[in-house]
Amino acid sequence: MGIGKRIREARLARSYTQEELAALLGVTKGAVANYESGVSHPKEAVLYRLFEVLSVDANFLYQDVPGCCDRPALSPAERSLLENYRRLSDYARETIDYLILRELSAPAANSASLQDAGNASVLSLPSREREQEVLSSSVMYLYPFLQYAASAGTGVYSGDMPEETVEAPFRKGADFIIGVSGASMEPLFQDGDRLYVARVNELQPGDIGIFSKDGSLYVKKAGADRLISLNGDYPDIRPDSGDISVLGRVLGKVPL
């Protein structure tokens, strides 16, 4: 068995079409179709680009090739967890990393503590502890605050709109904070979340950013030819009419 099935699986997990992946790899759409069907195999340079673009490694792509990889193949459940992890913000990933290390360092004690927690949020305690490390503890900063972002597209934005300010824990690289309204980016972001944003003019496919189109603001994942909603109940946004401009890259959620 070849690697075509795994290329297709990784492409779909990143929400790329064959045409989008081809553009990122510098090959034709037909070449990507041939890779996935097993008609042809990507050359070495394209293969390395595949690892980067799809955020996979040789162990993932070649796991079905007998005798190729020493590591055991990931189970479907493990692959699902990995893909969900890759969709998290940097702050959320750091929280998960903290939990894993905490469990490995003292599994018996932590198992008891989780049982005692009952219906309480398991993430609340490590998130606060990790927040002190990630967000410079009690260091607070006054950020410009835009209240007009909307993942469902209900916000209205004007470039000369006055900004308010809000105090929040310091986040390196953040230039302003923006609010989320709507559910199109669930489960990554919820209605009412506030996000740290770094001002940039360009984003790479796969980045989560703040975009402006036709007087509305959106928080979306950048695609090769569209803005992607993570919630399947909401459509993606394509630049059929009107320009789409980038306001910034989302760094993570502001802790409550």
Please report, for the chain, the start and end positions of each structural domain, with discontinuous segments joined by +: 4-86, 90-134, 140-253
Closest listed residue to residue 83, CA positions, set 74, 73, 91: 74
pLDDT recorded at residue 104: 63
Q: Tell me: domain 140-253, CATH 2.10.109.10, correct? A: yes
Q: Which residues of the chain fall below pLDDT 70?
A: 1, 65-76, 90-91, 94-95, 98-99, 101-138, 147-163, 241-242
pLDDT recorded at residue 170: 85
Closest listed residue to residue 247, CA positions, set 204, 203, 215, 200: 200
4-86 and 140-253: identical CATH topology: no
Q: What is the CATH number of domain 4-86?
A: 1.10.260.40
| 3-class state of residue 216 by DSSP | strand
pLDDT recorded at residue 146: 77
Neighbours of 186 (CB within 10 A): 17
pLDDT recorded at residue 119: 36
pLDDT recorded at residue 135: 44
H or E element at residue 251: strand 244-253
Contact between residue 218 and residue 157 where contact means Cβ atoms under 8 Å apart: no
CA distance 96 to 205: 24
What pTM did the predictor assign?
0.46
pLDDT recorded at residue 100: 72
